[in-house]
Structure 1
Amino acid sequence: MAHRPVRRERRWNGVLLAVGILVILAALAALGTRWAVQRGEIAFPISTPWGPECSVWTGEDTVRLERDQARRATTAAAVAVQGDDAPVEAPDTDDIPDAVMDVLTNGPEDDAGPSLTCRSVKNRDLVLEPDLEPSGLTPRAQNLKDGVEEHFSGLSLGGFVPGGYSTGHGERSAHYEGRALDIFYRPVNEDNRRAGWVMAHWLIAHAPDYEIDVIIFDDRIWSTYYPSLGWRDYEADPDNEILRHLDHVHVDVQRGSDPSEER
């Protein structure tokens, strides 16, 4: 059977169509952000599927950051917030705009909200870790706990127990598999809310380093399931501070695949 060659014009039409769609999506994202700001609404940072992996909404502009810049910026912000109690030294941030460092350190003036997002995808090479560490966490989750404690002092951590949980969390919670930990900021007030966002931003900037899968805090959720959408609204009982994750940052690591389930 003879195959007709694909015309060059068709190939170019396909390329132009794809480029056109990307341009339209970028324009709509920019217009949506400006529209929200003009209406006085909270504008969440977004990260497009192309270009630098991270972006920061400073209140006036979106600033794109490379992953390493986001790592250094969020670490420097964490050090600044902790002051003399910081267990690490602040990295160099001379290449990062002052407006970015200000919003990551102090938060937006009117609302603590999310200022940084990064796109991260699932690591398809990860395998399931069925065995737990003495803490009750999987090795990946234990590595995350160690990393958090290395950069932050005086933390209140929970969501894991030796031997693992069998009840007490929502259905299909990553806590039951030892893949999640909670970082508490109590009581629920503006100071703790801003401190929680410093942590949440640090986690999202370092997501690939610790194979982070989901972060939930302050009625917002970020996950590798939607890598470019950034922070999204998190629906929970409006009268329950715990379920809304107002008093803690929830973070879980990727599960990995079970070789026995593969065909």
Structure 2
Amino acid sequence: MTHRSARPGRRWHGLLAAVAILAVLGLVAVVGARWLARNTDVFPVSTPWGPECSVWTGEDQVRLDRDQARRATTAAAVSAQGDSAPVEAPGTDDIPDAVMTVLEEGPEEDAGPSLTCRSVKDPDLRVQEDLEPSGLTPRAEELKDGMEEHFSDLSLGGYYPGGYDTGHGEGSAHYEGRAIDVFYRPVDADNRREGWVMAHWLIAHAPDYAVDVIIFDDRIWSTYYPSLGWRDYEADPDNEILRHLDHVHVDVQRGSESPGG
């Protein structure tokens, strides 16, 4: 039996169809990116492509690379602390004024999340079983040192010499010495804005300290959903502690191996 080769016209038709499909997919991606950038007016998002970080200025989503986000949030922290800041503000000439304004002062109408970054778990991390005398793992100690290096007069908690075995929710990272709470009391507008300055600094520096989860002010960010940014955090509506209204919770990654692995 003989076989006829496909006619050239058919091959061209197939090629044109493939090109058309790719063009449609590309258009969808572009439109989707523009929609996310211009219509996400509740929380900032960070798409899986492009720069790692995004700031919502109230009018636009402004994309920042990781270094810009680090410098912007550090400069905002220095501005918020004034003369008590333990570090000097880094240069931010390459960052739009609108971004710095919202990071330093918060949104005009109300305090809330303005910046997010995508960050994933580090597969090379190993479990650290032993606690430091403070009750934190070495990784969490490094995070604590980093916060205290950049922020003065912090009110810290959530850890205890020897570690906690009660007082937190089931499966809490506090029991493993991986979590720190930064308190901003009482719950009012000024303290909420200070809390968001800290939360933004943490998210911008997440890869530096293997940050895994941040919770504050009814919002949660985690490496589990790195591109979704700040999501609603559901807790007892009558309990400001469980809602994390009075403190920023941050925990570091556990590691990729089980104890003794």
Q: Does residue 191 of structure 2 align to residue 192 of structure 1?
A: yes
Between the aligned partners of 1:175 and 1:18, the Cα distance in structure 2 is 44
Secondary structure of the structure 1 residue equivalent to 2:166: coil
| 2:38 and 2:59 in contact (8 A); partners too | no
> Which residue of structure 1 aligns with residue 211 of structure 2?
212
1:150 aligns with 2:157: no
Give distance in 1, aligned partners of 2:112 and 2:20. 42
Equivalent AA in structure 1 for residue 238 of structure 2: D
The Cα offsets for residues 1-53 of structure 1, whole Å up to 9 and x where unpaired, read as xxxxxx984875775565355335324424642xx5xxxxxx21110101000
Question: For structure 1, which runs of at least 5 residues remain unmatched after alignment?
Answer: 1-6, 37-42
- The Cα of 1:93 is off from its aligned counterpart by 0.5
> Once the 2 structures are TM-superposed, how far is the Cα of residue 111 of structure 1 from its aligned partner?
1.0
Question: Does the 8 Å contact 2:120/2:223 carry over to 1?
Answer: yes
Confirm or deny that 1:109 pairs with 2:116.
Answer: no
Determine the C-alpha separation between the residues in 2 that align with 1:163 and 1:109.
44
Match of 1:29 in 2: 36
TM-score (normalizing by structure 2): 0.90
AA paired with 2:245? L
Give how far 1:114 is off. 0.2
TM (normalized to structure 1)?
0.89
Q: Would you say the 8 A contact 2:38–2:60 is kept in 1?
A: no
SS in 2 for 1:249: strand
Moved over 3 A (4+): 7-21, 259-262
Q: What is the 5 A alignment of 1:163-174?
A: 163-174=162-173
Which residue identity is paired with 1:189?
Answer: D
* 2:72 equivalent in structure 1: 73
CA distance in 2, matches of 1:30, 1:247: 30
For 1:167 and 1:150, how far apart are their aligned partners in 2? 30
Code of the residue aligned with 1:171 in structure 2: it is E
Q: Is the 8 A contact 2:179 2:251 kept in 1?
A: yes
- For residue 177 of structure 1, what is the aligned residue in structure 2? 176
Aligned residue in 2 for 1:238: 237
Q: CA RMSD in A?
A: 1.9
- Partners of 1:228 and 1:111 lie apart in 2 by 24
The residue number in structure 2 matching 1:225 is 224
Aligned residue-pair number:
248
Q: Which protein shows a greater Rg?
A: 2
What's 2:52 paired with? 53
Structure 2 alignment gaps of length 5 or more: 1-10
